[in-house]
Amino acid sequence: MATIWEEFDISPIEIALPGNKVGITLRAYRLESELTPTDVSERDDEDDVFSARDARLPLDDEQLPEFEWTEEQLAAVAAAPAEDELAERAAESGDDETAEGDSDGDDEAGSKDAKADQEVPIFLTHKGMLLLFKTPDSLVSFLKSKAPHDMKQLKNWSKFASSLKVADVTVAEDDSYELDLVVENLRGGPDAWEPPLLLSAGEIARDLGYALQLKKVIIALAAGSPLDDLDEALRATGFFARRRLKKIGTEQASISWRGIIGKISAAVDWRD
């Protein structure tokens, strides 16, 4: 028998932040075309990922975290196509192939359209802030109330909220993120680094960066960035992987992650 989480494709997650603050919230993944981004117009934070996509990331010193970026890394981030550019390319490709009557081209265009409309994360957010709850009781009480939040746009949300019970709120180990331990672990140096801790932190930070429209978080963890290189080195195994890790600046990595966690913490609304 499927659980309520499997039935509605939503997950409870737990996030630990510095200061002994641990909270529960919800996360789901849906097609980007099905979602309306959280409204950040009232938030005291100008990090707007969607305007950054249009600007194509002019990477100046003020935007970058305190990390030594190589020319190759900067080029990789700046050259990555924006999502709206991908969609436009797919549409143009589809028109060209259709005009030529090429059925294979139609299949390729369809594939590109599918990639452009990718699954993206959505959290329990409101007005650009992540809602965190200290107990399952307070989370469920909020979900059953008429309080506004961004997850109400999900299909069958009312049925999910009315069916949810406090006993259902059990966070799986893989959905528990210890952001409070990341900086201290990095300061210990490569020999002390814990890949599961750091890789899971990268996962949740990328999701939150997108969902909360935190531009600096997105830039710091973008493909080709120093912290993305760190993740790749942590995933690798063997002698050469260990040598690669030892070449990564411990102080720079910890400073960058401290900035990321600070940006996320500033976008949290504790509800109890």
| Residues in contact with 148: Cβ distance below 8 Å, sequence separation at least 6, in sequence order | 126
* Number of domains observed in the structure of the chain: 1
Per-residue pLDDT 10s for the chain (272 aa) are: 689 999 999 999 999 999 999 999 999 999 999 999 999 998 875 444 444 443 334 434 344 444 555 555 555 555 544 444 444 444 444 444 444 445 555 555 555 555 578 999 999 999 999 999 999 999 999 999 999 999 999 999 999 999 999 999 999 999 999 999 999 999 998 888 999 999 999 999 999 999 999 999 999 999 988 898 888 888 886 556 666 666 777 888 899 999 999 999 999 999 98
Spatial contact of 215 and 52, defined as CB atoms under 8 Å apart: yes
| Residues in contact with 109: Cβ distance below 8 Å, sequence separation at least 6, in sequence order | 90, 91, 93, 94, 97, 98
Q: What single-letter DSSP state applies at residue 81? A: P
The tokens of 147 are what?
A: 């309080």
* Sheet of strand 10-17: strand arrangement: 119-123, 21-31, 10-17, 176-178
DSSP, collapsed to helix, strand or coil, labels residue 10 as strand
Residue 223: which domain range? 4-270
DSSP, collapsed to helix, strand or coil, labels residue 27 as strand
